[in-house]
Amino acid sequence: MFLKEFYTYRPKGAILLVAFIIVFVFLNIKWGAVAFPINVYGMYSGKYPLQDTQWVYKIKTGESFVDFTSLSMAERDKLQYSLDFYGKYKSNNVIVFNTMKRVLSTLIIGKLMEEEKYTPVADSIQYARWFNHLLSDILNKEIHSCLIYTQSYVWQMNQLNPVATPQKKYQFVSEP
Amino acid sequence: MLSFGWYFYYGLTLSKVNPVLFVNRLDFTRNILMLTNLQGMLLKYFWLRVSFDVIYCLLPILLAFAVLKEKYYTKWVVVVTILYNMCYGIFMASFTYISLDLYIAWFYVPFVFYPNTAKGYYFSFHSIRIVFLLIFFTAGIWKIRTGAIFNTDQMSGILLLQHKQYLAGNPSNWFSQLVYFLVQHSYYSYVLYLLGTIAELAFIIGFFTKKYDKWLMVAFLLFFIADYFLMRINYSNWMVFAGLLYFSQLKKEKYEI
């Protein structure tokens, strides 16, 4: 047996491997915070109901909307997730900071955690410049202003149908 | 290098992303690493982001050189590569949409080269192989635990979520037709999900025997191909894991065991 042979050859190594497996299994059972490289490798294990409302971004530059279908998978993801991140990063970072600080406060580490390092806020002008630059790179043309809408879709009658009217979410304007 | 090339081409490196914000996660390692405020410095200094990319790209080359030439400093290169790749993955996953999971291969695999004896190499190789098997096997277990495997609409829901931005554009090409077909015919897509889960669970075999490693490797490669073409997720960073299954059957005698 591999572990027995390993133990005979190098006991410390074998114990380390077994300890790793135990922690890996424990953190997976615990189902909460993780500690890289020990992670929950779910690979789409969550539930994804077909009936869920899907929110889709529509990006307007000038008079036209960006055609997401003409973009590569990486470009599409970059636009979509950048907007997702922008929408949630502030509240997410505050929640994570408070949780981790509380958990780690039993150790010295918690006391060393400074809020400003964990929850910096991007300047909205800076973000607008960054996003317009990203968009310019992807569309291969200069963009200094864009409007972001979100449109809800639902799966009905065997197809993806838009519901309600698109809602304006952000306007990014940057200097030329 | 090929994998890094793909990320570089699509502007998914620290110096090309030029991030202005980051997203934190409930991860002890990440939060402890953030005590250094490297995230703040990476946001601030372009030269630091470039340096991070250059070192990330050069370390595997240095590692390969040290291993092949049996240099006395190989152990140090291994340790530095492991720690550095961990930092790089953590920050990339904080600044971009790329999941930290995609960086684990370049964290684990260098461990294989840590020992400087044939025997030690044998044991480190198989230890990392076990970790890899564990990752895949637990992915299958998770699908049972959450009940996802019992939901016949599961894969349709995943495809819809993954490609909503694309499908909403209403294209009429073969890919959108394929995705639409699979979403509309839940049973076909569910069979794909079920087969994927069975393949993940089958990795338990690897804990007991190496005899079927080639088959597990085929399952792993199919997972990689399906993820790239159907899910549009690039798992190329994980390709190095395939070597753990490909070379696992080398005779023990070769390692003086």
B162-200 tens-digit pLDDT: 999 989 887 788 888 999 999 999 999 999 999 999 999
Report the residue count for chain B.
257
The alpha-carbon gap from A61 to the nearest alpha carbon of chain B, in Å, equals: 16
Report the residue count for chain A.
176
Contacts of B150 in chain A (CB under 8 A): none
Inter-chain CB proximity A52 and B161 less than 8 Å: yes
- The pLDDT of residue B257 is 60
Express as a percent the part of chain A with pLDDT over 70.
99
Contacts of B39 in chain A (CB under 8 A): 117
When pLDDT is averaged across residues A35-60 and rounded to a whole number, the result is: 89
ipTM of the complex: 0.89
Inter-chain CB proximity A48 and B12 less than 8 Å: no
Q: How confident is the model at residue A37 (pLDDT cuts 50, 70, 90)?
A: confident
Of A6, A32, A35, the CB nearest to B29: A35
Q: How confident is the model at residue A28 (pLDDT cuts 50, 70, 90)?
A: confident
- The pLDDT of residue A34 is 83
The alpha-carbon gap from B69 to the nearest alpha carbon of chain A, in Å, equals: 25
Give pLDDT tens digits along chain B (257 positions).
777 888 888 888 999 999 999 999 999 999 999 999 999 999 999 999 999 999 999 999 999 999 999 889 999 999 999 999 999 999 999 999 898 988 999 999 999 999 988 889 999 999 999 999 999 999 999 999 999 999 999 999 999 999 999 898 877 888 889 999 999 999 999 999 999 999 999 999 999 999 999 999 999 999 999 999 999 988 888 999 999 999 988 766 666 66
Record the pTM. Answer: 0.90
Tokens 């519901």, residue located: A163
Q: In whole angstroms, what is the distance from residue A175 CA to residue B31 CA?
A: 35
Task: Say whether residue A100 is in contact with chain B using an 8 A CB cutoff.
Answer: yes
- The pLDDT of residue B169 is 84
| pLDDT digit string, tens, across residues A70-118 | 998 889 999 999 999 998 999 999 999 999 999 888 888 888 899 999 9
Of A45, A127, A158, the CB nearest to B184: A158
- The pLDDT of residue A128 is 94
Q: Tell me if B60 sits within 8 A of B82, measured CB to CB.
A: no
Q: In whole angstroms, what is the distance from residue B230 CA to residue B207 CA?
A: 30
Q: 3-state DSSP call for residue A173?
A: strand
Task: Say whether residue A170 is in contact with chain B using an 8 A CB cutoff.
Answer: no
Inter-chain CB proximity A33 and B130 less than 8 Å: no
- The pLDDT of residue A121 is 85
The alpha-carbon gap from B17 to the nearest alpha carbon of chain A, in Å, equals: 9
Please name the residue of chain B whose CA is at the shortest distance from the CA of residue A121. Answer: B21
- The tokens for B6 are 């793909």
Inter-chain CB proximity B27 and A97 less than 8 Å: no
Mutate to test the interface with A, among B8, B28, B111 (most CBs of A within 10 A): B28
Query: How many Cα atoms occupy the beta-carbon half-sphere of A114 within 13 Å?
Result: 8
Q: Which of A124, A134, A136 is nearest to A171 (CA)?
A: A124
